[in-house]
Each structure stands twice: as C-alpha cells, then as structure tokens.
Chains A and B, each alone.
Chain A
Amino acid sequence: MNMYIPPEYEVVRDTERCIACRVCERQCANEVHSFDADTGKMTADGAKCVNCHRCVCLCPTHALKIVKSDDTYKLNANWDNQTINEIYKQANSGGILLSSMGNPKPYPIFWDKLLVNASQVTNPPIDPLREPMETRLWLGKRAASIERDEKGRLKNTLAPQLKLEVPVMFSAMSYGSISYNAHEALARAAQELGTYYNTGEGGLHRDFYKYGKNTIVQVASGRFGVFKDYLEGAAAIEIKMGQGAKPGIGGHLPGAKISEDVSQTRMIPQGADAISPAPHHDIYSIEDLRQLVMSLKEATNYEKPVIVKVAAVHNAPAIASGIARSGADIIAIDGFRGGTGAAPTRIRDNVGIPIELALAQIDQRLREEGIRDEVSLVVGGSIRSSADVVKAIALGADACYIGTAALLALGCHLCRSCHAGKCNWGIATQQPDLVKRLNPDIGYKRLVNLVGAWKHEIQEMMGGMGINSIEALRGNRLMLRGVGLTERELELLGVRYAGENM
C-alpha cells in the first residue's frame, strides 16, 4: 500500500485572467498543467508541482500563483507535516530520502547577527565614487623566502597566485549536475568579471577550454575527466575532499543523467552510474594528501595553485592546519548550508557546521600556529549577499565562493528538486528542450550584473569603514560586532558585542 501524500503546494489560477494560451502547460516539465478541451479551460494537478515558479513567471496575464496548501494533519509541534510525510515516503519506498540545494532548516544564521562598522568624525569614511577602492586580490601562498640573484636583484620566489578582481568566485558545479548553458554562462561571466568558475568533478567540456584562464578544475575521488590537458588547461586545480551539503558523502550521478555529451566530458561510458565516493581511497592522512597535491603540481610544472576543498565539520581548525602543511596553496571551506544537485536529506540537514564559526576558528588557529600566510582561505555555503562577503572577509576569509546565489541569478527559484533532473529553468537538467530555455547570452550578463553590483556594495561598505583595500579588511574583526549572540558564540567568532568599544 502506498500512503497518499497530499500536495504541499496548490496552483491557484485566476480564471478571470486566464486566456487558456497553454504557456503554463508547455513550460512545465512536471506536467502540472493541462487543457480540458471540453470546457476550454486549464486545469492543474498540484501533486506534481515542485513550486519552481516557471509558470507563474511566464504566464502572460499573471493569472497564476502557487500557495502553500492549508491541508494539514492534526497540528503537532513535534510531528510536523514534513516529518510525517517523510516517514510515509520511506515506508512506501524503502528509499533514502534525497534532496537538493542547501539546508532549508531554521538553524541560526550568524551572518545576520554580525554588524559592520563605519567611520564617524575621526578616520573619515572614503567615498568610492571619487577615491580608488581596491577589490583586487591574489589567492595563494604568501610565505616566500627572500633570495637575490648575482646582481643583487630580488628573485621571484612567490608561489603561483590566482588574481581576482572581486573577492567572489563561482563554486564547483559539475557539467552533469548543471547544464551546458549554465556552464557557459558561468565561464563567460567569470572571464568578464576577472574571477573564476569551477568545473566541479565533472570534467571540462571541449568547448570551454578557451575559458581556461578563468577556470578552476576539480579532482575528486572518481577522477572524472582528469587528464593532462584538463590539468594544464586550468588556472588552478581543486582537490575535492568534501562538500558542505554532504560532508562524508560522495557524488553519485545516476546513469540516466549521463548523456552522450556528459559522458564525453567525464570520460566515462554513457548510461552507467558515475560514482565518486567520499573517501579518496588513496588518502588516509595529511601525508597522503600531500602526495596528491604534489603530484598535481608536478603534472603542471608547479605553475598552478592547488586548492583543497573540505566541508566545515567539527574538527575544521585541525584539518585546516594539516592542509596548510600539505603543500596546498588555498583552502576552500564549505559550510553546512552549501547547495548540492542531490544529497541525502538527513545528511544535508544534520551534518556539518555553520561556515561563520568554522571560518573564524580556522583563521584563528592558522594565525596562532604562524601558518596563516601559507594558504589563502576561500569560504562558501552559503554566501547570500555582498554583506555576507564583507563579513566573511572581516572574519578572516580571502575570498568567497558563491553557488546558490549564482544559480538564482540564472533563474533558479530554489524549488530544491535538482535531483529530479527536470529543471524548468534549464539549469539542473540535461534534457535538450529544457536546457535551451537558459540563454547563455542573457545568463552571463545577469551573473555579471549580480557580481558587479556586489562589488559596488562591497566598495561602499569598505569606504564606510575607511578601508580602501579589500586585503586590509581581511581578518579585521574589530570591524564586526555581534548582536543576539551568547558569550560563547562571540568568543568563537572572535568579535565583541555591539556597543562595546575597541
């Protein structure tokens, strides 16, 4: 017996406005809408609706809205509808619950409890409209020995660096989890913005090698698409040890999503599952990690920075300390709100820690150990606005990764159904008819708009603080104050309470 689960959302159609043009029907890959020839009217099956708002946005007469269903089980603060429905789904199927995008649960968001400083009277603010305001930065090892040649000139002993015009990069999303057009939009936007996008562990499509100077390629346990040209074509190489949305869990792209093109890019057979388990079975220690870092450097003649990406978990500071000693140039830390194309619900919603706390503690630990300059820190999961970026940098990050925010710019409405592969916005799908809905010419401009706007906002906030270089904001925790935080939280974040003096 399959227990009936009432739909979570209802499609409400204003029949006065509806002209039965059937746009909604054509736009919905979930087949929610249909036309009743007998009555000449549109009907909707809410049970199939994932609430992606595609029909709402495209309805020419704005006749549609999606509302939360008011159907409810007997109200219970412990057993809410969602919890009960999940039990029914598992009892029906015996399956592991699978979800997408970031953790939606109401855990505390520390970004929203941090406030940024501004200068008043003394140390005056700087007006970014008339003064230079530097958002350019470099990622990589800063610790370098001073050596001179026989003529006494300084030798360049600095390790390879990534140059960013803005402290925001696009985080790892593989071709397979997102579409060709989404990748093209990210790559072109990264190029125009002077930043980087990240291939994820899905290989690099032949068409995108031309964006190599703005591409970070990923190496994960399955090594999909990893070969000489892939490594050499990139600006930097990222070793994926973990992901914020699913720490301790690997990647699993079902065979059904492995189209001809995805198969070529990943260099794996079409239709067979692509399994990339959480453990790298050749890495059981920092020494083993060092071996992978160094073999990648060796393969690329020590010309590219190597990033090691880990999920923010309980022992993050000790893990980061180890990575900083592994030869890696950059550590990327992904918080527990980071997005994903598919993750077991229980892992996504219950494993890992907030990025704010992990970042503050990692920066602190690396400083205490005198190795902060051995690595740059990049944080993600989830950075939602320029204010989050400013706060992250003040807490100690060098730059941020954005994934969900970038997808929102491309049209994503956070329906959290990526795992179904029927994304009506042409992002998290490989169906050609859906993919073509995302126009990369428009998509890349929207990404450039978003990050460009953030850059202006970052400059405004920096100017307000009297800081004219983003690198002078890094780790400047006196620029932050906490509100609504406990003594312990303030201590972990390394910030004072609002109202406290320097």
Chain B
Amino acid sequence: MYIDAYGMESRALNDAVRACGEHSITIAHCIGQRYLGTALSDKALSIEGTPGNALGAYLNGGSIRVHGNVQEATGDTMNSGEIAVFGSAGDATGYAMRGGKIFVEGDVGYRCGIHIKAYRENKPAIVIGGRTGSFLGEYQAGGTIIVLGLHTDGLPIVGNFCGTGMHGGEMYLRTAQVPARLPVQVRAERVAALPEDAAALVREWCALFGREEGELLRCAYLRLTPDSSNPYHQMYVGN
C-alpha cells in the first residue's frame, strides 16, 4: 500500500497505517509526522522523507526503513523488529530498547542507547555508521552498541560522558582513542577483531547500506564493558 503523507496530521497518518491490512506500506513525502509505526508488530514500513519524533516507539516486530533522516526518540522502548535509517538520527535514539536492531547509516545525536537492556533471547543492537553525540550508552544494562566512525568531519567518534552509569552490555567503537573521562566502572580494552555476534551486526549494516565490509571487519575496536553489574552495592547503609 502507498500513502502520500503530504499535509497529513500525525494521528491521521498513524490511523491509516494501523487500518491497513497489507504487510508492506510505503509512506511518501513524510514531513515530521510523529509516532509512526508505534507498537506495530508485523508490518514492513518504508518511509520516504523525514519522520518526526518517536518513530517506531514500542516497536514489537516487523521492519521500518527510512530513506532520509529521522528525528528524536527513534525506537523508544523497542521490543523487537528492525529500524534502518538511510541518513542520520537525532537524540535519544533507541531509548530503553529491550530487543530488535537499529541501523543508522550516518551519525546519531545525544543520548543514544540510554538504558538499553537485554533480556533472555532479546539482545538489542544499535549500529551507527558515523559518530555519536554525548552520553552514548548511559545506564546501559545490556545489548550491543557499535559505532563505526565513518564520519569525515574530524570530530571525535563519541562525545562526552560515554557510558555513565553503564552496568551491562557492551560497546564497540572503531577507534584507538579511549573516550575522555570514562567512568571508573567502565573498562576499555582493545580487541584485534570483533567477536562473531558483533561482526554479524556489522555485516548486516554493510549489506543494508551497500558498504564494503572487509575493512570494517579487519580493524581493531575499542570494547567498553562495565566492571560489575552491581556498581552501586557499596553505596548505602541501612538506617
């Protein structure tokens, strides 16, 4: 099904998507409509243009492809499914994701992958082609974040305060430089090659965006992991 979103209000567009019985839906001329694909579990959305905030919030399966940039809170509390952005993403991408995958061709803004957590078979993953803003993976409790650093603007691969409050999961940054002021409970180590599950994610990213995987798989990465899953257990005294 094809929906021309030009001039449509968010709610009308979302109602049209929900009402559509077909599996594949193409939305053209998207200009800022919010909450697209919220809590969908079995559709394949293809979006041309720029969707608004909270694209794919509570996504429960299926796929969303965006041919353009996305705004804030993409994949908020996503449970499963896949979001691929052929462009860059705004702030709070993948907030509190519990499962599924987000692939971003370009950069992401601030607070990407905050609170992402793993649960049993659910292992959320975010793969970013370019660089990220500050607060990457704050309070990360599980899952995998990979930053490929293919940006060309010369800025650091991640901003400030990377991994603050991190207590689970892992990050792979394609850089030799340890992020500035990494919190004490986060360990940074150089790995000569990505482990298989992370490499598989990079291959998926390359296949989506038509990039050569060779170089990205052969090089060294910086792996960030928390020292403990109970970082605060010594902090309190019963009163």
CA distance A160 to B216 in the complex (A): 52
The CA of A300 and the CA of B54, in the complex, are separated in Å by 15
Other A-B pairs beyond A269-B168, A295-B38, A345-B239, 6, CB < 8 Å: A221-B115, A227-B98, A255-B233, A281-B139, A298-B57, A299-B35
Contact pick for A98, options B77, B91, B229, B238, CB 8 Å: B238
Contact between A267 and B119, CB atoms less than 8 A apart: yes
Give CA–CA (A4, B145) in the complex, Å. Answer: 48
25 contacts across the A-B interface (CB closer than 8 A) = A86-B239, A95-B236, A98-B236, A221-B96, A223-B96, A226-B77, A227-B58, A228-B79, A267-B98, A269-B168, A272-B168, A272-B229, A273-B232, A273-B233, A275-B139, A275-B167, A277-B139, A281-B111, A281-B135, A282-B76, A294-B34, A295-B73, A298-B39, A299-B39, A420-B238
Q: Which of A263-314 contact B (CB under 8 A)?
A: 263, 267-269, 271-275, 277, 281-282, 291, 294-295, 298-301
Q: At the interface, is chain A mostly helix, strand, loop or mixed?
A: mixed
Question: Are the CB atoms of A226 and B92 closer together than 8 Å?
Answer: no
- Distance A299 CA – B118 CA, assembled complex (angstroms): 22
A-side contacts of B236, CB under 8 Å: 95-98, 344, 419
Q: How far is the CB of A237 from chain B (nearest CB, A)?
A: 11
Partner of A299, one of B38, B92, B115, B139: B38
- Report yes or no: A291 in contact with B34, Cβ–Cβ below 8 A: yes
Please give the distance in Å from B238's CB to the nearest CB on chain A.
Answer: 6
- In the A-B complex, the 7 residue pairs with the smallest Cβ-Cβ separation, listed nearest first, are A95-B237, A223-B96, A272-B229, A299-B39, A97-B239, A298-B35, A93-B237
CB distance from B173 to the nearest CB of A (A): 20
> CB of B141 within 8 A of chain A?
yes
Q: Taking chain B's interface residues, is the majority helix, strand, or loop, or is none over half, making it mixed?
A: loop
- A89 contacts B by Cβ under 8 Å: yes
Cα separation A269 to B77 with both chains bound (whole Å):
16
Contact-size category for B = 35 or more
Determine whether the beta carbon of A282 is less than 8 Å from that of B72: yes
How many angstroms between the C-alpha atoms of A294 and B53 in the bound complex? 11
A97 to B53, CA, bound (A): 40
Q: Report how far A221 CA is from B95 CA in the complex, Å.
A: 9
Q: Which of A46-101 contact B (CB under 8 A)?
A: 86, 89-90, 92-99
Residues of B within 8 A of A227 (CB): 58, 60, 77, 79, 98
Residues of B within 8 A of A417 (CB): 238
Whether B239 lies near A268 (C-beta < 8 A) is no
Total count of chain A residues near the partner, CB < 8 A: 45
A93–B238 CA distance with the chains assembled, in angstroms: 10
- The A/B interface has a contact count, at CB < 8 Å, of 142
A436 within 8 A of partner (CB): no
Check B152 for interface membership: any CB of A closer than 8 A: no
> Does A231 belong to the interface (CB within 8 Å)?
yes
A252 beta carbon closer than 8 Å to chain B? yes
Which B146-191 residues have C-beta < 8 A from chain A?
165, 167-168
Mark each residue of chain A from 92 to 129: 1 if its CB lies under 8 Å from any CB of chain B, else 0.
11111111000000000000000000000000000000
A403 close to chain B: CB less than 8 A: no
B14 contacts A by Cβ under 8 Å: yes
How far does the alpha carbon of A268 sit from the alpha carbon of B141 in the complex, in Å?
Answer: 8
A281:B114 contact, CB within 8 angstroms:
yes
Taken together as a complex, chains A and B put the C-alpha atoms of A417 and B232 apart, in Å, by 19
Residue interface mask A376-420, B partner, CB < 8 A = 1 = 000000000000000000000000000000000000000001011
Which residues of chain B in 54-113 are interfacial with respect to chain A, using CB atoms and an 8 Å cutoff? 54, 57-58, 60, 72-73, 76-77, 79, 91-92, 95-96, 98, 111
| Bound complex: CA A291 to CA B53 (Å) | 8
Say whether, besides A282-B111, A291-B54, A298-B14, A90 and B168 are in contact (CB < 8 Å).
no
Tell me which of B39, B229, B231, B234 has the highest count of chain A C-beta atoms within 10 A of its own C-beta: B39
A231 partner residues in chain B, CB cutoff 8 A: 39, 58
Q: Is B117 an interface residue when CB atoms closer than 8 A count as contact? A: yes
A254 at the interface (CB under 8 A from B): yes
Q: How far is the CB of A250 from chain B (nearest CB, A)?
A: 10
Residue contact B237 to A272, C-beta cutoff 8 Å: no
B239 touches A89 (CB 8 A): yes
Task: For A301, list chain B residues within 8 Å (CB).
Answer: 18
Which A residues are in CB contact (< 8 Å) with B141?
268-269, 272, 274-275
Q: Which of B11, B39, B142, B231 contacts A228 (CB 8 A)?
A: B39
On whether the beta carbons of B232 and A252 are closer than 8 Å, the reply is yes
**What is the bound-complex CA distance between A117 and B14, given in angstroms?**
51
Partner of A273 from the list B11, B60, B229, B239 (CB cut-off 8 Å) is B229
Q: How far is the CB of A426 from chain B (nearest CB, A)?
A: 20
Query: Do A281 and B233 contact each other (CB < 8 Å), given the known contacts A98-B238, A295-B58?
Result: no
Q: Does B41 contact A (CB under 8 A)?
A: yes
State A300–B232 Cα separation when bound (angstroms): 36
The distance from the CB of A402 to the nearest CB of chain B, in whole angstroms, is 25
> Is A354 in the interface zone, CB < 8 Å from B?
no
Is A222's beta carbon under 8 Å from chain B?
yes
Could you tell me the distance between the alpha carbons of A284 and B58 in the complex, rounded to whole angstroms? Answer: 20
Given contacts A95-B234, A269-B142, A273-B167, contact A281 B34 (CB under 8 A): no
